[in-house]
Structure 1
């Protein structure tokens, strides 16, 4: 029985996808980066001002003290001078399901009242999320949590948040987190599992043969 348990444990360990407990994803609450002061506008293509993230589209506003963050002291307005977004590329395991949670609010300084954000990941369909900012202000942003799921298509994935609103008053984004959610096994993983089960079967056959010889 000890041999069977050992083989089972070894097979299970081999079958677990690398990085099953976490992904190489950083700065989900935007606390690391240049000091934004009240706020600072980050132009599209800038990959150094907000650690780990690249601004896309026209620009985003990197918010400091301008309004209440959901987590820590910083957040993002996905519209800087005009429609923008942010994205981050990180290591993933192909075939693994990932769960992205994030918080949205809205810049209440101007229209539209309902802010729209398209969230996407490499090789996966994007999903549109909206936030109604009509009842809130800078001291009470009304942050709400949302979830987006994707299955990694390769060894790296780009996660993106893109404003769908024109103008300078977009959705606010904060506290993005990434967890694995029990992915679809890769072909290599299935192979390791089959090898493990084959080893268990071989041990059981040898033990039966040994008992038959003694009898």
Structure 2
């Protein structure tokens, strides 16, 4: 196989279907509620999630879900304190994982914190989110390296009260080994440069050669 064909096969390999989401009920669809409404859930009653009380909304108050038709409001209808939900999932020690989710505010001044923790409570990733727009979805994408066979993802409100901090479409997926190590590869040969080229560039080169 020529170097150009080998490079092309690598690009096609990157385009294979994504790995399975390790988060159960990441879009909060499993506990079905009435369309254009909301419902409060007590701790531990939303499929896949532990922690405090939470609310599920179904395309309510002019905010459609980022994925599916439902999403969660971290600030639940309750005592008005701080809220936190979390989920544990299996990981491979030393492997890299992508994390993504959508978030939006219900009103101004809201903030929440994302924590990713090892099974020994080491912090693998932590970030405070206070940049979200009112009823407009933003997207987060990040990654972490697992240290233990179980890892926890946790979302915690910072502002008190029963309004705000919507989240949806939470996903954690394993990064293939060859992709995780690609950033450490030096590009010193033509085939290395070919790997960086999109498929459209190969099509363009082919058209130029046939003229």
* TM range, smaller chain: 0.5 to 0.7
Name the counterpart of 1:66. 60
> Quick one: distance in 2 between partners of 1:55 and 1:64?
21
Give TM-score scaled by structure 1 length.
0.62
> Quick one: distance in 1 between partners of 2:29 and 2:104?
17
Q: Runs of 5+ in structure 1 lacking a partner? A: 1-19, 186-215
Name the counterpart of 1:114. 109
Q: CA deviation at 1:36?
A: 6.1
Name the counterpart of 2:30. 32
> Quick one: distance in 2 between partners of 1:132 and 1:120?
17
Pair 1:24–1:132, CA change in 2 (3 A):
closer
Pair 1:78–1:36, CA change in 2 (3 A):
farther
Pair 1:175–1:23, CA change in 2 (3 A):
closer
> Quick one: distance in 2 between partners of 1:50 and 1:34?
10
Contact 1:42 1:55 in 2 (8 A): no
User: Helix, strand or coil for the counterpart of 1:100?
Assistant: strand
Q: CA deviation at 1:34?
A: 5.0
Pair 1:155–1:69, CA change in 2 (3 A):
same
Give TM-score scaled by structure 2 length.
0.63
- Mapping for residues 94-173 of structure 1, pairs under 5 Å: 94-108=93-107, 113-122=108-117, 123=122, 124-133=124-133, 136=134, 141-173=135-167
Q: CA deviation at 1:173?
A: 0.3
> Quick one: distance in 1 between partners of 2:50 and 2:139?
22
Structure 1 segments, 4+ long, off by >4 Å, are: 182-185
User: Helix, strand or coil for the counterpart of 1:126?
Assistant: strand
Q: How large is the Cα RMSD of the aligned pairs?
A: 2.4
> Quick one: distance in 2 between partners of 1:116 and 1:127?
11
Which structure has the larger Rg? 1
Contact 1:121 1:158 in 2 (8 A): yes
> Quick one: distance in 1 between partners of 2:140 and 2:88?
20
1:5-55: CA deviations, max 9, x gaps?
A: xxxxxxxxxxxxxxx944532211111125366212223xx22x3211113
Aligned residues: 151
